[in-house]
Amino acid sequence: MGAKWLNDVKWDAQGLVPVIAQDAHTGEVLMFAWMNREALDQTQRSGEAVYWSRSRRRLWRKGEESGHVQKVLEIRTDCDNDVILLRIEQVGGIACHTGRRSCFFNRLDDSGWNSVEPVIKDPEEIYK
């Protein structure tokens, strides 16, 4: 596969594109992150999610520390080519660094934001 497909993505001013990681079997949204061109290329080539860490300013292979790798089954783009959707299998069932299945565990109710998803594994045990 040539590199033309990478040129079709609408990268922002920083050379990034937003990415949604979705469980391919349940449809649950697990994570939001960013990719640069190299991260998207490596994701396509390896079949495992690679993101751009804005805080670390480097490529970040999901699961490199935790072992919670994301196996990529499909890469899609939205109608404007400015958002990527990864349909994935989440190894270990944990996508969030807080030890939860999904990063979207806070729900707004009358008292404010409340955690509605359990911690599957203590982050202290994940990140030694």
Whether 29 shows a pLDDT value over 70: the answer reads yes
Domain annotation covers residue 112: no
> For residue 74, what are the domain limits?
4-94
Domain annotation covers residue 47: yes
Domain annotation covers residue 55: yes
Domain annotation covers residue 41: yes
**pLDDT value for 3:** 74
Domain annotation covers residue 101: no
Domain annotation covers residue 108: no
Whether 2 shows a pLDDT value over 80: the answer reads no
Are 91 and 71 a contacting pair, CB within 8 Å?
yes
Q: How many domains does the chain have?
A: 1
CATH of the domain at 48: 3.10.20.810
The encoded tokens of residue 109 equal 């109710």
* pLDDT-above-70 percentage for the chain: 98
Residues 58-114 have pLDDT tens digits of 999 999 989 999 999 999 999 999 999 999 999 999 999 999 999 999 999 999 999
Q: Which of 121, 117, 49, 54 is nearest to 89 (CA)?
A: 49
**pLDDT value for 127:** 86
Strand partners, 61: 50
